[in-house]
Amino acid sequence: MNLHRTYPIAGGILVAIFLLVIPQTLPILLIHLSTEILYFALFAVSFNLVFGYGGLLPFGHAALFGIGAYTAGLLFNHLPQLSILPILLIAALSGLVAGFLIGLFCVRLSGPYFSLASLAFQMFFFAVALKWRSVTHGSDGMGITRPGLYLPLLGSLPMGEVQNLYYITLVLVALGIFTCYFFLKTPLGNSVVCMRENEIRASFLGYDIFLTKITVLAVSGMLAGLAGGLFALFQGFVSTTCIDVNMSLIVLLMVVIGGTDYFLGPVIGAAFYLIFQDWLSGMTRHWWLFMGIFFVFVVLYLEGGIIELFKFGKIRLWISKSGNKT
Amino acid sequence: MTIVKLKNISKDFSGLQVLVGITLEILEGECHAIIGPNGAGKSTLFNIITGLYRPSGGKIFFLDKDITNWSAHKIARLGISRSFQITNIFPKMTVFENVRNAIVSKFNRRFDWVSLLNKDKKIGEECDRIMNLLVLIDKKDVPASELSYGAQRQLEMALTLARDPLLIMLDEPTAGLTADETRKAVQMIKQVTKGKTLLIVEHDMEVVFSLADRITVLNYGEVLATGAPAEIRENEKVKMAYLGRG
């Protein structure tokens, strides 16, 4: 085995062990933070699938996240007998459908026009969530009673315990991120990168640009919807904050800070952003200011995001090469 | 047999009449060259046949199928493949990945979402075949942007030929090459397109007369003459418009 394979495998095992022992060793507040990092990591990965790999910059990605969150939230409250996993699956599917529909309208536009059209769609869904009070309770939000989770061997797991929430989030996020990773390794994933690299050439090779773009938005929507569902499950509360402009902006910051060129860049970005925010907001009310300064710094002086700092010469340690930077 | 038939094709760009009633037939197995002074409408005609532009009037038939107003990717899938005058490749990808993009499309695996691309033997072997054919195999892992200009033109050819097209359209394949490279390129084109139908636009008369079986001369968006190279050389109208009176 050469170094190129040993390092990622060893690193992967270490990270897995670390993630598994978090709930046993860390204080409760940090378990909270870790869970948040997990589902935001999935959201950021889904964003980067469109931005980094597809070359489209959506300003309204929170629409997909929010639709997932509201779908899960409403189902938890009105159809609790479905139990957790099917509900989260439906949340993911709702994201997929929303991604497909938004794509259908936005994808014919390119560059900034695409970005703004996606923002317009997000504002539309935001308005629905805000004004349709009989269903969504508007900006007051709605509380969620979490059904228990029944597993074959372990029996019923109460979802009130933060450890259990952490583990279910970990498993589903890992599944989602793996799905995305696998997607990029298939010919379809290659079609997406190929389209980003040179649209005209790709279409003269027989690639249907329109359909490819819609597909990538739908897949991304599925992952964002799942992340949103996990958000609803974990917070036990869904309000318009999960579908507002701020949410779209946060995920954009995470991805750019983390780095768009590598598959794990957004994961690093999400972790860094939330830890940094947690730490700063404990010290000052003006943490946004410092976050902004940091963002500007990254954009100006660390173009590939902080993931670039983890590269040591030719050996990239545990960071999997994405095929994005080819 | 006729592969492509153009019937009365015209094109105007917001009032500027670029093509006026072009009628043209391209026969199976021939090498057909389109020549004409700058601005005669050669590239526009290319772009119309391949679906980049839509014609303002007229019809295009490919193997008796009406393909007027089809989009580019559908026309490409039918078996019309083109190269570009300005090199048009995937610059950040390696030579291998460039060729693979074409092969994936050729095997209609563009929307395959269940298999791993790297592990696919059939695609890998076909890529090797194409890279061998165009002598690119030793540059397999070089990013396309780092290739020399000549090698980029070769890669452009590789992308064009990879789909085993029924009609190969080359837009100034020797543009920007030195005399020596041009000679090599012509050799290569002859070799790899043997027995295939070729439509080329070219400025270099030496290239045109050494490759073409038939030549069509365009001038101000109209067909001036079509015929064998010898006829074209003798045609008075062509001499007036293009080759000069000399």
pLDDT(B1) > 70: yes
Chain A touched by B91 (CB under 8 Å)? yes
> Which among A5, A204, A210 is the top mutation candidate for probing chain B, defined by the most B β-carbons within 10 Å of its own β-carbon?
A204
Mean per-residue pLDDT, A66-70: 96
Chain A touched by B86 (CB under 8 Å)? no
Three-state DSSP class for residue B200: strand
pLDDT of residue B205: 85
Sort out which chain B residues have CB atoms less than 8 A from A260's CB and list them: none
Q: How many CB atoms lie within 10 A of CB B95?
A: 28
pLDDT(A150) > 80: no
Q: Which chain B residue has the Cα nearest residue A180?
A: B113
Q: How many CB atoms lie within 10 A of CB A326?
A: 15
Please tell me the distance in Å from B48's CA to the nearest CA on chain A: 13
CB B38 within 8 A of CB B47: no
pLDDT(B242) > 70: no
Chain B touched by A194 (CB under 8 Å)? yes
Sort out which chain A residues have CB atoms less than 8 A from B115's CB and list them: 186-187
What gap in Å lies between CA B71 and CA A221, rounded to an integer? 27
pLDDT(A64) > 50: yes
Report CB contact under 8 Å: B90, A201. yes
At A85-95, the pLDDT tens digits run: 999 999 999 99
Chain A touched by B205 (CB under 8 Å)? no
> Which among B47, B52, B73, B109 is the top mutation candidate for probing chain A, defined by the most A β-carbons within 10 Å of its own β-carbon?
B73
Sort out which chain B residues have CB atoms less than 8 A from A220's CB and list them: none
Q: Residue A83: which pLDDT band, with cuts at 50, 70 and 90?
A: confident
B140-159 residues touching A, CB cutoff 8 A: 143, 159
List the beta bridge partners of residue B34: B201, B216
Report CB contact under 8 Å: A205, B159. yes
Chain B touched by A320 (CB under 8 Å)? no
Chain A touched by B83 (CB under 8 Å)? no
Query: Shortest CA distance to B115 belongs to which of A222, A190, A171?
Result: A190
pTM of the complete model: 0.90
What gap in Å lies between CA B125 and CA B123, rounded to an integer? 6
What gap in Å lies between CA A78 and CA A75, rounded to an integer? 5
Please tell me the distance in Å from B77's CA to the nearest CA on chain A: 5
pLDDT of residue B244: 60
pLDDT of residue A238: 94
Q: Which chain A residue has the Cα nearest residue B76?
A: A206
What gap in Å lies between CA B57 and CA B43, rounded to an integer? 17
Please tell me the distance in Å from B103's CA to the nearest CA on chain A: 9
Please tell me the distance in Å from B235's CA to the nearest CA on chain A: 36
Q: Which of A187, A200, A215 sits opposite B104 (nearest CB)?
A: A187
Sort out which chain B residues have CB atoms less than 8 A from A183's CB and list them: 113
Residue B169 identity (one-letter amino acid): M
Q: What is the average pLDDT score of chain B?
A: 90
Q: Residue A314: which pLDDT band, with cuts at 50, 70 and 90?
A: very low
Q: Residue A50: which pLDDT band, with cuts at 50, 70 and 90?
A: very high
Chain A touched by B118 (CB under 8 Å)? yes
Report CB contact under 8 Å: B113, A183. yes
Q: How many CB pairs under 8 A join A and B?
A: 92
Q: Which chain B residue has the Cα nearest residue A207?
A: B73
At B79-126, the pLDDT tens digits run: 999 999 888 999 999 999 999 999 999 999 999 888 899 888 999 999
Tell me which H or E stretch contains B61. strand B57-62
What gap in Å lies between CA B184 and CA B187, rounded to an integer? 5
What gap in Å lies between CA A305 and CA B2, rounded to an integer? 56
Report CB contact under 8 Å: B117, A187. yes
Q: Is A215 exposed, middle or buried (0-12, 13-18, 19+ CB in 10 A)?
A: buried
Q: Which chain A residue has the Cα nearest residue B144?
A: A326
Compute the residue count for chain A.
Answer: 326
Tell me which H or E stretch contains B19. strand B16-27
CB A275 within 8 A of CB A309: no
Q: Token match 């589903």: residue?
A: A172
Q: Which of A190, A200, A326 sits opposite B104 (nearest CB)?
A: A190
CB B203 within 8 A of CB B187: no
Sort out which chain B residues have CB atoms less than 8 A from A186's CB and list them: 112-117
Sort out which chain A residues have CB atoms less than 8 A from B114's CB and list them: 186
Q: Which chain A residue has the Cα nearest residue B103?
A: A205
Report CB contact under 8 Å: B111, A183. no
Q: Residue A216: which pLDDT band, with cuts at 50, 70 and 90?
A: very high
Compute the residue count for chain B.
Answer: 246
Q: Residue A317: which pLDDT band, with cuts at 50, 70 and 90?
A: very low
Chain A touched by B207 (CB under 8 Å)? no
Report CB contact under 8 Å: A201, B115. no
What structural domains does chain A harbor?
Answer: 3-314 (1.10.3470)
Question: Any alpha helices (H) in B69-178, and if so which ranges?
Answer: 72-78, 95-106, 121-133, 149-161
- Provide the ipTM: 0.90
Q: Residue A325: which pLDDT band, with cuts at 50, 70 and 90?
A: very low
Report CB contact under 8 Å: A215, B111. yes
Query: C-alpha distances in angstroms, A92 versus A57, A65, A310, B68?
Result: 21, 9, 32, 41
Q: Is A19 exposed, middle or buried (0-12, 13-18, 19+ CB in 10 A)?
A: middle
Report CB contact under 8 Å: B105, A205. yes
Q: Residue A3: which pLDDT band, with cuts at 50, 70 and 90?
A: low
Question: Cβ contacts of residue B89 below 8 Å, gap of 6+?
Answer: A198, A201, B98, B144, B152, B155, B156, B159
Residue A133 identity (one-letter amino acid): R
Residue A297 identity (one-letter amino acid): F
The proportion of chain A whose per-residue pLDDT surpasses 70, expressed as a percent, equals 93
Report CB contact under 8 Å: B111, A187. yes
